[in-house]
Structure 1
Amino acid sequence: MKLFIVLIISFFFSVSYSKSLMIGTSGDNPPFSSFADSHNNFSGFEIDIMMEVCSRLHAQCQFQPIVVSAVLKLFAEKKIDLVIAAIIEPPANSPEVADFVFSTPYLPSSAQFLVRTDSNIQTLQNIRYKAVGVRLGSLFNGILFKYFLLSLYNQQLNVTTYLEMCDVIDALQSKAVQAVFSNTEAIHYWYMMNKDQFRLVGDPFPIGNGYTIMGNRGNEQLITQINQA
């Protein structure tokens, strides 16, 4: 009788968690997500959000690191089901929207400037004509940030894109750029970790429609389930 009960419980547990999802994310963008160890385990508040979503969907979720340029290929080859990587939903008229579907945003999106403590940049106006680094690693964000800056400063600054946030920070430390413009959460993380080296300039700028979970076009049902979770 005890064995029968154990088998029944095991059966229902396996059924309720029968859905398996592979989640693409960044291994180098704290506090959103980053490698926790050398075994593809991740930490960060986006990982926590996704784990809660997976729990509500009764799904077993695994995470794998991705690069932006490979997202379409990974979706096409069904190697990932979703992406959560500080993705700001692009405008509805953006050509990229045709390839993807997006969840309801889970957090407002904004960006802010970071400079070295020894910089002569004191105000937002001082950034004009300077070299500014942005992270290209988050899908859409690098281009979104770049064009936002060029519009804000009427093309009167030099914007350089880097693949990952650590590359942007290295460029700032080496003075290859005079300022960094990135997600407010990432900027605050690097500032809090290195107050002796960096400082904030200006208030955050609201950008885009918020951070979202992204799926492949055709997977609208899964995104609907996420929105309802």
Structure 2
Amino acid sequence: MFKKLTILMLAVASFCAPAMAETYKVGVSAEPYPPFYTPDADGKWSGWEIDLMNEICTRIKAECVVTPIAWDGIIPALKTGKIDMIIGSMSITPARAKQINFSDKYYATPTGLLVAKGTKYVPTPEGIAGAIVGAQSGAVQEAYANKHYADTAGDIRIYQTLDEELQDLAAGRLDAVVGDSLAMSEFIDSAEGQACCEYKGSVIEDPEVLGHGVGAGLRKEDADLLAQVNAAIAEIRSDGTYEKISKPYFKFDIYGQ
């Protein structure tokens, strides 16, 4: 009788216990992308997008593990199951949307042109004539540079990281960098950036290439997860959490129009 009672109690306890949280591997670029995400010396990731990811995961009752992936392989990693989501400043573009689903936008940032101080270059195809231009591999800025600047620029050089581009610009090996204006802002405001370079403003809009804001990337078949993420983003936006997360990083609203 005691044995049967013990078994029954264990069964009831098991039935009543809360379900284990889902665990998701969340992909970010393996290269630091401050202020959105960057690792410390121990490999712990922090930044605005990491804070947002943690808030989303809390609201969908999931455990999320930051999983760095080389940017040009991040969509294949999602599609093959190496990661479960991308929360890594990925622009929502028509080309990418053919391969994966995107959540609702959670921020938007203009693409801009940073040039060596004292040069004449501006962010138009004619204004970039003869310049050696840097762009990041796999980023929308690479596609933009190839589409709009290839016929006029002296050369377009592709880099694995934005930091490498900026250092080559500061060292005089590039004339200009076409990049995410928010991601470049820390460098632009630094002593090094102020000494070497000048921000020339946003490029001419091209939504087909640059997209419609940044969203979380998910597999096409994960419709339920997509719905949960969208609901979490909407809550974060509506209850003041978005502003609370953003305040330590930005002095303006990065959500955009």
The offset of 1:45, in angstroms, is 1.1
CA 1:105/1:76 → structure 2, altered by over 3 Å: closer, same or farther?
Answer: closer
- The structure that is strand-richer by fraction is 1
Structure 2 equivalent of residue 134 of structure 1 = 135
Q: Select the residue among 18, 37, 40 that pairs with 1:36.
A: 40
Letter of the 1:201 partner, please give it: K
The offset of 1:104, in angstroms, is 0.7
Q: Select the residue among 170, 173, 179 that pairs with 2:170.
A: 173
Structure 1 equivalent of residue 48 of structure 2 = 45
Letter of the 1:97 partner, please give it: A
Percent identical across equivalent pairs?
21
* Correspondence list, 1:1-229, <5 A: 11-12=17-18, 15=19, 18-26=21-29, 27-39=31-43, 41-91=44-94, 94=95, 96-117=96-117, 119-121=118-120, 123-124=122-123, 126-138=127-139, 141-147=140-146, 149-150=148-149, 155-157=151-153, 158-193=155-190, 194-203=193-202, 205-206=204-205, 207-229=210-232
Which of 1 and 2 has greater Rg? 2
Mapped partners of 1:137, 1:188: distance in 2: 20
Mapped partners of 1:210, 1:155: distance in 2: 27
Gaps of 5+ in 2: 1-12, 233-257
Mapped partners of 1:121, 1:28: distance in 2: 30
Mapped partners of 1:227, 1:48: distance in 2: 16
Runs in 1 of length 4+ with deviation above 6 angstroms? none
CA 1:102/1:196 → structure 2, altered by over 3 Å: closer, same or farther?
Answer: same
Which range moved further: 192-201 or 61-70? 192-201
The offset of 1:223, in angstroms, is 1.4
**DSSP-derived class of the 2:195 partner:** coil
Per-residue Cα deviation, 1:104-138 (whole angstroms, up to 9, x for no partner): 11112311111233x32364464322111111254
Letter of the 2:180 partner, please give it: N
The offset of 1:19, in angstroms, is 1.2
Mapped partners of 2:160, 2:33: distance in 1: 11
CA 1:210/1:133 → structure 2, altered by over 3 Å: closer, same or farther?
Answer: same
Paired residues, number = 209
The offset of 1:44, in angstroms, is 1.6
CA 1:49/1:77 → structure 2, altered by over 3 Å: closer, same or farther?
Answer: same
Mapped partners of 1:122, 1:137: distance in 2: 24
Letter of the 2:225 partner, please give it: L
CA 1:201/1:67 → structure 2, altered by over 3 Å: closer, same or farther?
Answer: same
CA 1:98/1:137 → structure 2, altered by over 3 Å: closer, same or farther?
Answer: closer
Structure 2 equivalent of residue 4 of structure 1 = none
Letter of the 1:127 partner, please give it: I
CA 1:36/1:148 → structure 2, altered by over 3 Å: closer, same or farther?
Answer: farther
Letter of the 2:81 partner, please give it: K
Structure 1 equivalent of residue 247 of structure 2 = none
TM-score (norm 1): 0.80
Gaps of 5+ in 1: 1-6
Letter of the 1:197 partner, please give it: C
Kept after mapping to 2: 8 A contact 1:110/1:208: no
The offset of 1:77, in angstroms, is 4.2
**DSSP-derived class of the 2:186 partner:** helix
